[in-house]
Structure 1
Amino acid sequence: MDAQTLVDERGELWLALAPMWLEREPRESDYARMVEVIERDGIALKDLEWVFRIELAPVLSRQQMSVAGEWRKFDDHQLMRRLVAHNLRLKGWRRKFWALFSGLTTMMVRHRYNELVERLVVARGGDIR
């Protein structure tokens, strides 16, 4: 998969989910946008979990732990470049490595992800798929 395909297929979803890693709690408008983009993409919850754990968390958790990191708002262009670079390398042992350590990279924002899932279940009328 090339960079443009990644941006076309995942870019909007990645940018919608990124506020989970900001200093502040996501706003109602952030959650509403997340739900809207996820519903438009029709992504299943099990697939969303992997996007969260494998595609986003390794990049965004490093940003979160950085002393000089952006905490109030992300530079979308720079963030997308880092996400694309990470995901282009996400094959074989790297995918397994991040799957193994995804509990560590997601623990700071897991409560926010759980809130998102609850909102998705409500939006889907109780359907947990």
Structure 2
Amino acid sequence: MKDPQTLVDERGELWLALATLWRENEPRESDYARMIEVIERHDLSLEQLEWIFRLELAPVLARQQMSVTDSWRDVDEHRLLRQLVTHNRRLHGWRKGFWTLFSGLTTMLTRARWNTLMTRLMVARGQQPPH
């Protein structure tokens, strides 16, 4: 199990960039460009990104998205990183199976944005996006 600082060092920038997908407002062109820039620095495959989206991010950010009291304008990045680190340090055994099983539900509200991002990423990589 990775220590919290290692998780933040390895994933923090990526997690915060991709958290944009869960905001109330549709991401802007500049948001998509920033996410792609960060993704490319991490040199991850589309499959690896899908699992990060489904297992590392969605369980935490879907709760944030559904919360009536929290506003994305007031998101404390340090608090969000702590929540993501806590979740990811516990993501093994039955919890991993649970979140894999329910990832369709936790990604449902963000799936269209994710698909847009993945299409743009494929174009940026010179790959043919699916039609």
Q: Distance in 2 between matches of 1:105 and 1:33?
A: 23
Cα pair 1:22 1:71 within 8 Å, conserved: yes
**Equivalence for 2:104:** 103
1:37 correspondence with 2:35: no
Residue range with higher mean Cα deviation, 106-115 or 66-75? 66-75
**Equivalence for 1:83:** 84
Letter of the 1:88 counterpart: R
Letter of the 2:117 counterpart: L
1:127–1:9 distance in 2 versus 1, CA, 3 Å? farther
Taking structure 2 as the reference length, the TM-score comes to 0.94
Length, aligned pairs only: 128
**Equivalence for 2:12:** 11
SS at match of 1:72: helix
- Backbone CA RMSD of aligned residues: 1.1
The Cα of 1:72 is off from its aligned counterpart by 3.1
Letter of the 1:98 counterpart: W
Cα pair 1:22 1:73 within 8 Å, conserved: no
Q: Distance in 1 between matches of 2:73 and 2:109?
A: 16
Q: Distance in 2 between matches of 1:71 and 1:7?
A: 20
Identity across aligned pairs (percent)?
A: 67
